[in-house]
Homo-oligomer: A and B are copies of this chain.
Amino acid sequence: MAVPLTILTDPRRTGARRELTISPGTTILAAAHAARIDLTATCGGRGRCTSCRVKFVAGSVPPPTIGDEVQLGDELVREGYRLACQCMPTEAVTVQVAPPLEETAFQILGADRGVAGRVSIASGIDKQLVKVSLPREEHHQTSDVEALAAAVGVTAAEVPAGVLTTLPHALREDPAGATVTTFAGRILAVERGDTTSMRFGLAIDVGTTSVVTTLLELTSGEQLASVSSLNPQSVFGGDLMSRIAFAQFNPGNLRKLHTRILGLLNQHIAEVCRASGVLAKWIYKVVIVGNTCMHHVLLGIDPSWVGLAPYAPVMRHALTLAARDLFLKIAPEARVCLLPLVAGFVGADAVAVALATRIYTGEALRIAVDIGTNGEVLLGSAARLWACSAPAGPAFEGGQIRHGMRGASGAIDRATIDDDVRVHTIGDADALGICGSGLLDLVAGLLRAGVIDWTGLIQVEQRDGLPPRLRERVVMRGEERQVIVLRRGEAGAPREIVLTQDDVRQLQLAKGAIASGIAMLQHVAGVPDERVSELMLAGGFGNYLSIDSAVRIGLIPALAPGRIRYVGNAASLGAQLCVLAEPERARAETIARSIEHVSLAAHPDFEQIFVDCMNFPQP
């Protein structure tokens, strides 16, 4: 029998509440999502993270599940916390949503030069002021659109239907004339008066975890504004496979993912327009990149089979739509260009990385690693180009780590270990958790100090040989090995922050995915380390990690330091190139068709390489 369930939806106060009923066998997470309450479930509701935890504030607290104990730990369990994805109430209860660790607010990125100066501007967007001779006599058998077409030099039938509604006013209301915007000869807009100097474009990088939108001025190529935020689909699954599982054969859930991302894009558009003072109706071109799953969901295409062998995408070709078809609130006929895909798990973002890094030029063999929840690795030169996916999962973004968090204020982003653990936090704020680069530094430091061995085991039994202060941080609690990174109060931490054995395993899985991707491409292409002229680190996380730590844990091969460099958010930069230069967009098509996709799981040598890469390099 269904029982009442009250959810206090605001973590900070009890005022915001929703009254539901919940049927037997239904989890609180499922009931919350059915009622459109945003409850984050980074692991996709599999009991493998802490993001969906709720606190019981009325009604009896159910006994903890194994998931509760493993993920939340004794302390939180005692305080009445449970994982909403594991808990199926059988009597009336009231639960409060826990404050998220993630920053969900928009992050306004500093506008910089972006790719301006790196490319000859040829956006394809053209504006011209025309004076149209309107019909004057009743016996003239003509029309507004015919008069316009004659002035612009096209036929009436070439004027898109979406533009027709604007004509009667636009052609009559300003004595200066009307401004006609075209893209490759196609009319996109007709505006009254002279707006020829107003032409803008958007580059959008839809990542599994983060979405970045950049507004560009199409004459100078200048970045006017850029905004980044969490992909709001994350509440339905942190990594690609759990995202696909959520939507699989479930049209309602697919619609949720679809509308979430379109809603966010419109928020981003409003935000970059507000920040720059640009009117959204002056945005005429958009280039979107993303992995195959993000791409499909953005278009409302069911990604179910992308998640099933042989992982075939529904489409791979470059697609251009009208903005109104995606309900984007810019010029309705603006061209939205989706770059081509390569395979089920190598998407348009990899193509954009190839474009931005120019990896397809020259004779030198280079590697580009886009580190993200769904990472990609590229290897090649002008001669050949290989790519594979490297599904690291959300560990580098703080997901599935006991005290993990995204790289926001209070996150431990740097750490060194000598006779003790020393940390730095973002914004020098009180320590709240560990983000990806901090995790790398911690594990690399613990490896060097001998606290972790090459198999990843925390050396509790051998801790006696450690310096005293470090030794006290290496503990066995129940059956769990832990390193106490910060005790409550250290570095302002409001609670103890630990690194668990399981956290180390998660990192090993994540770095193993990336490292084995690199190794496999080198293996398939027959390129040993010494023939790799350069390794380029791309992606939001890739630009913050310490190269030393990355090499120490074996995330990337031990090339000479000068041969490893950061290349920024290459996927976004590649999209920006395509906004500014049509030849780049044409090149994307060529690159997508020339990339040789290396399917890791299908390769006979992969298993051994992956196992090797899970371990840490022996010094």
Q: Does A106 contact B (CB under 8 A)?
A: no
Cα A134 to Cα B314 in complex, Å, equals: 10
A373 to chain B, nearest CB (A): 21
Which residues of B sit under 8 angstroms from A183, Cβ to Cβ? none
Chain A, range 302-322, C-beta contacts under 8 Å to B: 302, 304-305, 309-319, 321
Which residues of B sit under 8 angstroms from A312, Cβ to Cβ? 134-135, 140, 142-144
A338 to chain B, nearest CB (A): 9
Nearest CB to that of A342 among chain B residues? Answer: B141
Across the interface, do A310 and B140 meet the contact criterion of CB distance under 8 Å?
yes
Q: Does A492 contact B (CB under 8 A)?
A: no
Cα A145 to Cα B599 in complex, Å, equals: 21
Which residues of B sit under 8 angstroms from A618, Cβ to Cβ? none
Across the interface, do A315 and B165 meet the contact criterion of CB distance under 8 Å?
no
Q: Which of B305, B315, B597 contacts A145 (CB 8 A)?
A: B315
Q: Which of B141, B146, B168 contacts A302 (CB 8 A)?
A: B168
Instruction: List the one stretch of A156-164, A416-424, A549-557 in contact with chain B.
Output: A156-164
Across the interface, do B138 and A602 meet the contact criterion of CB distance under 8 Å?
yes
Chain A, range 321-361, C-beta contacts under 8 Å to B: 321, 325, 341-343
Across the interface, do B599 and A138 meet the contact criterion of CB distance under 8 Å?
yes
Across the interface, do B314 and A145 meet the contact criterion of CB distance under 8 Å?
yes
Across the interface, do B141 and A304 meet the contact criterion of CB distance under 8 Å?
no
Nearest CB to that of A341 among chain B residues? Answer: B143
Q: Does A300 contact B (CB under 8 A)?
A: yes
Which residues of B sit under 8 angstroms from A134, Cβ to Cβ? 312
Across the interface, do A161 and B299 meet the contact criterion of CB distance under 8 Å?
yes
Nearest CB to that of A161 among chain B residues? Answer: B321
Nearest CB to that of A162 among chain B residues? Answer: B325
Q: Which of B135, B141, B164, B343 contacts A299 (CB 8 A)?
A: B164
Cα A140 to Cα B316 in complex, Å, equals: 12
Interface residues of A (CB under 8 A from B): 134-146, 156-157, 159, 161, 164-165, 167-169, 172, 299-302, 304-305, 309-319, 321, 325, 341-343, 597, 599, 601-602
Which residues of B sit under 8 angstroms from A137, Cβ to Cβ? 310, 602
Given contacts A164-B299, A168-B302, A305-B168, contact A317 B156 (CB under 8 A): yes
Which residues of B sit under 8 angstroms from A141, Cβ to Cβ? 316, 342-343, 597
What are 19 A-B pairs at a CB distance below 8 A?
Answer: A135-B312, A138-B599, A138-B602, A139-B602, A140-B310, A143-B312, A143-B314, A143-B315, A144-B305, A144-B313, A145-B317, A146-B315, A157-B319, A164-B315, A167-B301, A167-B315, A168-B301, A168-B304, A169-B302
5 closest A-B pairs by beta carbon, nearest first, are A135-B312, A138-B310, A138-B599, A145-B315, A144-B314
A595 to chain B, nearest CB (A): 8
* Interface contacts beyond A139-B602, A143-B315, A165-B301: sample of 4 additional A-B pairs, CB < 8 Å, sorted by A: A159-B315, A161-B319, A167-B315, A172-B305
Q: Which of B138, B142, B168 contacts A309 (CB 8 A)?
A: B138
Across the interface, do B599 and A139 meet the contact criterion of CB distance under 8 Å?
yes
Across the interface, do A314 and B599 meet the contact criterion of CB distance under 8 Å?
no
Which residues of B sit under 8 angstroms from A143, Cβ to Cβ? 312-317, 341
Across the interface, do B310 and A164 meet the contact criterion of CB distance under 8 Å?
no
A291 to chain B, nearest CB (A): 14
A402 to chain B, nearest CB (A): 35
Which residues of B sit under 8 angstroms from A305, Cβ to Cβ? 144, 168, 172
Nearest CB to that of A343 among chain B residues? Answer: B141
| Among A136, A145, A159, A318: residue with most chain B CB under 10 A | A145
Nearest CB to that of A326 among chain B residues? Answer: B161
| Among A299, A313, A597, A601: residue with most chain B CB under 10 A | A313
Across the interface, do B601 and A164 meet the contact criterion of CB distance under 8 Å?
no
Which residues of B sit under 8 angstroms from A139, Cβ to Cβ? 597, 599, 602
Across the interface, do B165 and A299 meet the contact criterion of CB distance under 8 Å?
yes
Cα A65 to Cα B136 in complex, Å, equals: 40
Which residues of B sit under 8 angstroms from A317, Cβ to Cβ? 143, 145-146, 156-157
Which residues of B sit under 8 angstroms from A316, Cβ to Cβ? 141-143, 145-146, 156
Which residues of B sit under 8 angstroms from A157, Cβ to Cβ? 317-319
Which residues of B sit under 8 angstroms from A309, Cβ to Cβ? 138
A359 to chain B, nearest CB (A): 19
Across the interface, do A138 and B311 meet the contact criterion of CB distance under 8 Å?
yes
Cα A277 to Cα B445 in complex, Å, equals: 73
A166 to chain B, nearest CB (A): 9
Q: Which of B136, B144, B172, B311 contacts A315 (CB 8 A)?
A: B144
Cα A383 to Cα B341 in complex, Å, equals: 57
Which residues of B sit under 8 angstroms from A165, Cβ to Cβ? 299-302
Nearest CB to that of A254 among chain B residues? Answer: B165
Which residues of B sit under 8 angstroms from A300, Cβ to Cβ? 165
Cα A455 to Cα B58 in complex, Å, equals: 90
Cα A157 to Cα B304 in complex, Å, equals: 22
Nearest CB to that of A142 among chain B residues? Answer: B312
Cα A493 to Cα B577 in complex, Å, equals: 79
Cα A146 to Cα B343 in complex, Å, equals: 12
Nearest CB to that of A304 among chain B residues? Answer: B168
Across the interface, do A314 and B161 meet the contact criterion of CB distance under 8 Å?
no
Nearest CB to that of A156 among chain B residues? Answer: B317
Cα A140 to Cα B309 in complex, Å, equals: 11
Which residues of B sit under 8 angstroms from A313, Cβ to Cβ? 143-144
